[in-house]
Chains A and B, each alone.
Chain A
Amino acid sequence: MLQVESRDGASHVALQGELTIYQAAELAERFLPLLRREEGLVIDLSDVSDMDSSCAQMLMLARRHCQARGHGCALVNHSQPVIDVFETLGLVSWFGDPVVLPGESGPKNRPGMDAGMGGGA
């Protein structure tokens, strides 16, 4: 479901697998405490195979929470299912993170990302 690594004053979180309402409670239990760490958040979405609105909503909460406290909260390496969901819900512009569309350069090659993170699951 998720892997966390604290590095350079930020929590690097890799979300993985299916993230739907069935996982929402557990994800909340493991993910939301990270918001209390009072540090920046980098969320890698490359290994998310499915996401529904409930988990997208949790990412919105995270972004808003961090922003209100002056911390960064970056979403990176959106997988195709995540891109689809974000586009449907109007979240691409809500988050405003760069999203790499298929056909352009590989999704794992974003500047500022730790290349080693995605596959660590």
Chain B
Amino acid sequence: MSMEAALQTYFAEAREMLEDMESRLLEIEHIDAGELPETLNAVFRAAHTVKGSASLFGLDGIVDFTHVVENLLDRMRDGEVAVEEDLISLLLRCQSHITTLVDETETDEQISEDSRRLSQHLIVELGGYLASEDKPADKAGLPTAGEAADDHAEQFPADADDETVDNECWHISLRFGRSSFRDGMDPISFLRFLDGLGTVRQVIILDDWLPDLADYDPESCYLGFEIRYMSQASKKEIEDVFEFIREDSDIHIVAPYSRLSDYIDLINAMGEDSDRRIGEMLIDCGALTESELAKMLAMQAAAEEADQGRRLGEIVSQEDDRLGPVVDAAAQKQTQMREAINRKQKSLRVDADKLDHLINLVGELVTSGAGTFLQAQILGNPELIESMSKLNDLLEEMRDASLKLRMVAIGATFTKFQRVVRDMAADLDKDVDLVITGADTELDKSVVEKIGDPLMHLVRNAVDHGLEPAAERAAAGKPETGTISLNAYHDSGNIVIEVGDDGAGLDADRILAKAREKGMVGEDQQLSRSEIFDFILKPGFSTASQVSNISGRGVGMDVVRRNVIEMRGRTEIDSEPGEGTTIRIILPLTLAIIDGFVVGVGQAAFVVPLDVVQECVEFSEADHEEKDGQSYINLRGNVLPLVNIRQRFAVRGERPKRRSVVVVKADGQSVGLVVDRLMGEFQTVIKPLGPVFAGLSGISGSTIMGNGEVALILDVQGLVQQITRRPQRSATHS
């Protein structure tokens, strides 16, 4: 199981490396010569790490191919192979291919025949660059397509900066508390229990803390152990073995195939006098090899040096002279290592579930704080009110801060499109520049995950249909190179993402004609320009006269609209003939919190997302009429269909004399919600509904109110759709 987990980590890591590799490769064509070595180095490192780790897992297909790529990158880094556009294209194809190899290995546990063939094909192409150099000695470094598998081990010993330790065993460091014996906790028992859960491969007992005769207390425990342990158990299970001694003892567990830095953490965590001493223990019990220890000490020293500005050589030579030669080699890698370490220290990987749990708790804390504040006001104690209000301020700050934890920059998402645009432009024989602005705009992680697909559609569409062919552009007096722009910015609680092109613009007349032809709009109906543009995002509408193989993938632009609406966002389209089109996606900053408008029906409270609320009016029986089981009111001359919330959700209790109508608008359709009371605005943390209520239509979630009661959040979109779908006939002749 642990092996499986390690493999999962590898796949995630490899993808990250490959993404980095791609963006660096795309950079190469745009950077100054001075930055080239560093960028090439970064590309090399990415390939090198993907290969190095793959070899630990015996993923030969990935190793064999990536090895050749790495080889070429190494030569480029040394300036032996010149950087040129075709070569970068080839490397980008290789990058894509390695990604495919990783994907296939993960999903199918093997590499498809097609991919094998492509590997060989690409290796031959790569060979062209490697062989063209007049350096026969180096040619040995290029395996031919057939024999790639055999020779990588000797030539490329794994030496990534923070390499994975080749150790299939857990490593457990135990320092028993002094009172262990007196508490009835005997190390023997724990070691035997451990042996039942797996196999204790080696135990080293430590007498470092055993005092001299004079200070010795026979009933105190001075023992420590270093244990090499083979087990399929999870880390949690192993930790649980020590649950009863956890508080008084020092326990550290390092998983199989951990990184050197994990062992550094272990050493630091043990906080013992001599790092060297525990290092020796690690070697003695087989957790590390001598050279791994040397490398580790060097890394540690490099990290310290980064802190204190001391020189690596000095530190390590104090550690042990024996390590001299290895350390020299390590010292050369010092800069690289420091980078790796710095990167590690700057960010912290946290399980998204844990984060969501925290945010959920903080949300509840805020609501429960609001409830307490309410109580304080009822009690009327000024000191209490004052301190509660301070507490509430802090809680709100805390909520804002914790929501920020989920925020990520959109840059990485944008950067992906460089590749898309580049490939499409080549296919369509257009010259296209992609201009990215606002890459550091942050948005909620869940939004970033969902926005990729809609953006992809928009970008493809802009390149394909938005931009005219070069000849047409030239004829119109525009530069032949078209521009696609991606932009993101914050705008009053919303995040706005724009996809723009400087193409021909949308032809409003043609769109309107087509909409009429399809019966999507009445012959005499008057529409504003933006209403007309909206059609291009509606289902079943396509204006492209011929479907190209790029955008015409059977999935229309309506997918964009649907996805955006699912995120409680909306779209806007600006277009000027001859100047281009900008499609704007406007999304709420976070999906976890909405501004809600609370309404009451009977004893129940419902939350309507504030952004769909148009207005509130009093319900008057006089204006009310019913047709085909659907009720309406006349709102300033317009027919407004109603949803009676009391009936819709079968709320019990007596109907009050005065009721209100909340006018909401979704999908361009206004609907009135009939409720008993209007209770005002309320910031709401959305909690997903449990599985029991998942099928409940018209409800999108729940929230806890300040008074501790649960309120259901209305799915206005869903309610509106139910109305517009059902009474299509009656709506037209009313």
Contacts and interface: CB of A to CB of B under 8 A. Distances in A.
Contacts of B213: 32, 35-36, 61, 65
Interface in B164-221: 181-182, 186-188, 191-192, 195, 202-205, 207, 210, 212-213, 216, 218-219, 221
B210 A89 contact: no
A25 B219 contact: yes
Interface string B323-343: 000000000000000000000
Given A53-B186, A57-B210, A64-B207, A88 B219 contact: no
A54 B205 contact: no
Contacts, number: 68
Contacts of A18: none
B205 A90 contact: yes
Contacts of B216: 28, 32, 61
Contacts of A65: 212-213
Contacts of B205: 60, 89-91, 94
B223 interface: yes
Question: Which 8 A-B pairs give the minimum distances between C-beta atoms?
Answer: A90-B203, A28-B218, A24-B218, A90-B205, A54-B181, A21-B181, A53-B187, A88-B191
Contact of A89 (B181, B188, B218): B188
B188 A57 contact: no
Contact of B203 (A32, A57, A89): A89
The size bracket of the interface on B is 20 to 34
Contacts of A90: 202-205, 225
B205 to A, nearest CB: 4
A91 B203 CA distance: 9
Contacts of A91: 205
A27 interface: yes
A39 interface: no
B373 interface: no
A9 B205 CA distance: 31
Which of A25, A35, A88, A91 has the most CB atoms of chain B within a 10 A radius of its CB? A88
B65 interface: no
Given A88-B203, A90-B225, A25 B187 contact: no
19 contacts: A24-B181, A28-B216, A28-B218, A32-B213, A52-B181, A52-B186, A52-B188, A53-B181, A57-B222, A61-B210, A61-B213, A61-B216, A65-B213, A88-B191, A88-B195, A89-B188, A90-B202, A90-B203, A91-B205
Contacts of B195: 88
Interface string B104-133: 000000000000000000000000000000
Interface in A69-112: 85, 88-91, 94
A28 B219 CA distance: 9
A1 interface: no
A113 interface: no
Contacts of B186: 21, 52-54
A36 B216 CA distance: 14
Contacts of B187: 53, 89
Contacts of B203: 88-90
A38 B712 CA distance: 83
A88 B210 contact: no
Contacts of A94: 204-205, 207
A10 interface: no
A88 B188 contact: yes
B218 A53 contact: no
Contacts of B204: 90, 94
Contacts of B182: 21
A25 B210 contact: no
B211 to A, nearest CB: 8
B219 A24 contact: yes
A117 interface: no
Given A32-B216, A53-B221, A60-B210, 10 more contacts: A21-B182, A25-B219, A27-B218, A32-B213, A54-B218, A64-B210, A65-B212, A88-B191, A90-B205, A94-B207
A32 B188 CA distance: 23
A21 B202 CA distance: 25
Contacts of B221: 53-54, 57
A76 B202 CA distance: 23
A64 B181 CA distance: 21
Given A65-B213, A90-B205, A57 B191 contact: no
